[in-house]
């Protein structure tokens, strides 16, 4: 410890926090970017998909959804839920070009495949449990057979003769 007049400095090691640190993977983020497909959470177009065409400021974006019936307008980010889907587009692209890119990348079909009902998620969970149970049973059989197998014979080492 050193005294500098006002402060006492200590060189003791700082303990690690009690909780485990979680590592964020960059692919987990969904950035607000041009071409990002978003889901409209509330408002007159609630439940429709749109694409961010341009960012106006830190609170609003210019959106357009020609294939989902959303007209081009300014919308607050709080009304949008960003999805994993993204189109490669230039800034302020026209609706026709956006519609072609939307259809080329099959955004509507990708979105429909991504949305599951509660019952679908339940069936998927049960199917995964059954699959994991089968894998565990087969692995147990293999492990049991491996224990019963005779031990490998010891390898004889050849020694070099001294000359």
User: What pairs with residue 65 in β-bridges?
Assistant: 70
- The domain total for the chain is 1
Residue at 141 is within a domain: no
Residue at 19 is within a domain: no
Residue at 15 is within a domain: no
Interacting residues of 125 by C-beta distance below 8 A, sequence separation 6+: none
pTM value? 0.56
Residue at 123 is within a domain: no
Question: How high is the mean pLDDT in each 10-residue block of the chain (163 residues)?
Answer: 54 47 57 90 90 92 90 92 89 91 88 79 92 94 86 75 67
Residue at 42 is within a domain: yes
Q: Which domain holds residue 98?
A: 30-114
> Residue 51: its pLDDT value, please?
94
- Tokens matching residue 121: 């998620």
Residue at 155 is within a domain: no
CATH number, domain with residue 39: 2.30.30.30
């Amino acid at each position: 410890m050193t005294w500098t007049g006002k402060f006492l400095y200590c060189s003791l090691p700082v303990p690690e926090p009690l909780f485990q640190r979680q590592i964020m993977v960059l692919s987990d983020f969904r950035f607000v970017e041009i071409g990002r497909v978003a889901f409209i959470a509330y408002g007159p177009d609630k439940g429709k998909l749109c694409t961010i065409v341009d960012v106006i400021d830190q609170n609003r974006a210019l959106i357009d959804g020609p294939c989902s019936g959303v007209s081009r307008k300014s919308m607050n980010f709080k009304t949008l839920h960003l999805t994993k889907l993204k189109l490669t587009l230039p800034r302020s692209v026209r609706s026709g070009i956006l519609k072609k890119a939307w259809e080329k990348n099959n955004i509507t079909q990708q979105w429909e495949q991504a949305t599951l009902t509660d019952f679908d998620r339940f069936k998927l969970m049960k199917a995964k449990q059954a699959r994991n149970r089968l894998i565990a049973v087969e692995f147990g059989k293999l492990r049991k057979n491996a224990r019963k197998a005779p031990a490998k014979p010891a390898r004889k080492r050849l020694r070099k003769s001294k000359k």
